[in-house]
Structure 1
Amino acid sequence: MHIYAFGSVCRGEVDVSSDIDMLAIVDGYDSRFNPSDYSVYSYERINDLWGQGNPFAWHLFLESKMVYSQDDVDYLQSIGEPGTYKSGITDCEKFREIFLSAKKSIDSSALTEIFDLSSVFLAVRNFATCYSLHAGKAPDFSRNSAKNLSIYSIPIDDPTYSLFERARVLCTRGLGEILSPAEIDKAKITLNEIDSWMIEILEIIKNGIYGRV
């Protein structure tokens, strides 16, 4: 059994809305670990992710901190660097589809606006993370990944970006103030800009143009 912390606590990005992401690597089912508190993986699955060069594997390899080892070995470091990440186009297209689904829902109904804005944040953050990893630059797994792409950063201002982040925290942790109708409208009017940004990034990936980032 090996236990790791990962995420914002390991990057030093902790604030009042942060949680602590924990990973447990175990042999088979282990009732001691509640999936609501831990990401629980078998050794076989971790090795599969490493071989695939999966973004989560790179995240763990670069940013996790070991908390406990039953054999005094840092297992994640012992298996070496993950394989080359090769699914950037597919993954970015997948997260754009999540974005488009949330955008369609927002355009058709006001009943789930905050949830849909939360989904937009999830899609945008993961889209940017996958791009940063695929482009061969320093991969960015932070909540601000979409703002850290130099000239290809998401073309919305920080206050507006924070509205999407607030929606995400509200939906996942139940923390923070409910977004006002005016704040929701402010976020909604940027959706076409976000889509154009995603389309541009996808074109960059498909054409292999990374030098200017």
Structure 2
Amino acid sequence: MSKGELIGAYIFGSVARGKQDHLSDLDLLAVVRNGMGKVSDEAVLSTVPEEFRSFRSSISWYGAARIEQMFRNGELFAWHLFHETVPIFDPSSFIKHLGSPAPYRDAVLDVCSFRKVMMAIPEEVKANERNAIYEAGLIYACLRNIAMSSSWSLCRLPDFSRYSVFNLEGIDDCPISRSEFEKTMLCRMAGQRGGDPPDGVDKDFVLHLHARLTPWLEALQAKLEKVERRG
């Protein structure tokens, strides 16, 4: 039997933004008291309003101290929570009492980190063409995180939406189409949720996407570095 204590449960992501669609999960944040372990999934899911219970749920577990640390450090996820959480069990107003996170200062570092992951994709898919679905999904994950990080500097507000890569300002448009991006997204979802990946994703698809994205990502990083030097 779990000995954990639930401090708060919150909805974040597309449902919290009111932008949910047939691809959306119900993203849940569960905050538990430090050093006592988790509570049961059922204890968290029981707090979900009836109107959202048809969604597939994904629970992110955090101890209170880790959330507090993220706010002090100005981590991007803290800003995500600050802007978008909808409390569904929050007897102590935990997130609200944390106030505004410190400024996010790791955009360039985070973009560099995800670009390094992307650099390995061509060799991986060339080594084994059966990796194409996984590597296409990895392109989605990297682009999504790069765009969210970049939006801090390039947009009026940080953009945590699924299509944030198409909303960046002060930089040329992302060089892949929405339909291509959605294919990479469906590959990622197939890997995480099971189910069939989209048609037409093979080695050449992945390599062509990667070749177009590489110079754009280089320009994006240069833009962020320039903005950081000014700021």
Report the CA distance shift for 1:19/1:133 in structure 2 as closer, same or farther (over 3 A): same
1:35-46 equivalence runs, <5 A: 37-46=58-67
Instruction: Please say if residues 153 and 227 of structure 2, whose CA atoms lie closer than 8 Å, have aligned partners that are also in contact.
Output: no
Report the CA distance shift for 1:120/1:16 in structure 2 as closer, same or farther (over 3 A): same
Q: Distance in 1 between matches of 2:168 and 2:115?
A: 17
Instruction: Report the Cα offset of residue 111 of structure 1.
Output: 1.7
Report the CA distance shift for 1:42/1:193 in structure 2 as closer, same or farther (over 3 A): same
What do the CA deviations read for 1:124-182 (whole angstroms, capped 9, x no partner)?
0100100111446311111111111145231111221111111111111124x4333x4
Partner of 1:172: 192
Partner of 2:225: 206
Name the SS for the 1:51 alignment partner: helix
Is 1:15 the counterpart of 2:21? The answer is yes
Partner of 2:76: 55
Instruction: Please say if residues 99 and 124 of structure 1, whose CA atoms lie closer than 8 Å, have aligned partners that are also in contact.
Output: no
What do the CA deviations read for 1:58-99 (whole angstroms, capped 9, x no partner)?
000001100102x3x321122111001111111000111121
Q: Distance in 2 between matches of 1:32 and 1:126?
A: 29
Instruction: Report the Cα offset of residue 114 of structure 1.
Output: 0.2
Aligned pair count reads 207
Is 1:78 the counterpart of 2:78? The answer is no
Is 1:161 the counterpart of 2:169? The answer is no
Report the CA distance shift for 1:205/1:24 in structure 2 as closer, same or farther (over 3 A): same
Instruction: Report the Cα offset of residue 194 of structure 1.
Output: 0.8
- Letter in structure 2 aligned against 1:123: C
Decide which of 10, 18, 26 is 1:4's aligned counterpart.
10
Instruction: Report the Cα offset of residue 197 of structure 1.
Output: 1.2
Decide which of 78, 85, 90 is 2:109's aligned counterpart.
90
Gaps of 5+ in 2: 1-6, 45-56
Instruction: Please say if residues 55 and 130 of structure 1, whose CA atoms lie closer than 8 Å, have aligned partners that are also in contact.
Output: yes
Decide which of 26, 30, 54 is 1:24's aligned counterpart.
30
Name the SS for the 1:3 alignment partner: strand
Report the CA distance shift for 1:151/1:188 in structure 2 as closer, same or farther (over 3 A): farther
Name the SS for the 1:208 alignment partner: helix
Gaps of 5+ in 1: none
> What's the C-alpha RMSD, in Å, of the aligned pairs?
2.3
Q: Distance in 2 between matches of 1:66 and 1:116?
A: 35
Instruction: Report the Cα offset of residue 37 of structure 1.
Output: 4.2
Report the CA distance shift for 1:16/1:210 in structure 2 as closer, same or farther (over 3 A): farther
Instruction: Please say if residues 24 and 33 of structure 1, whose CA atoms lie closer than 8 Å, have aligned partners that are also in contact.
Output: no
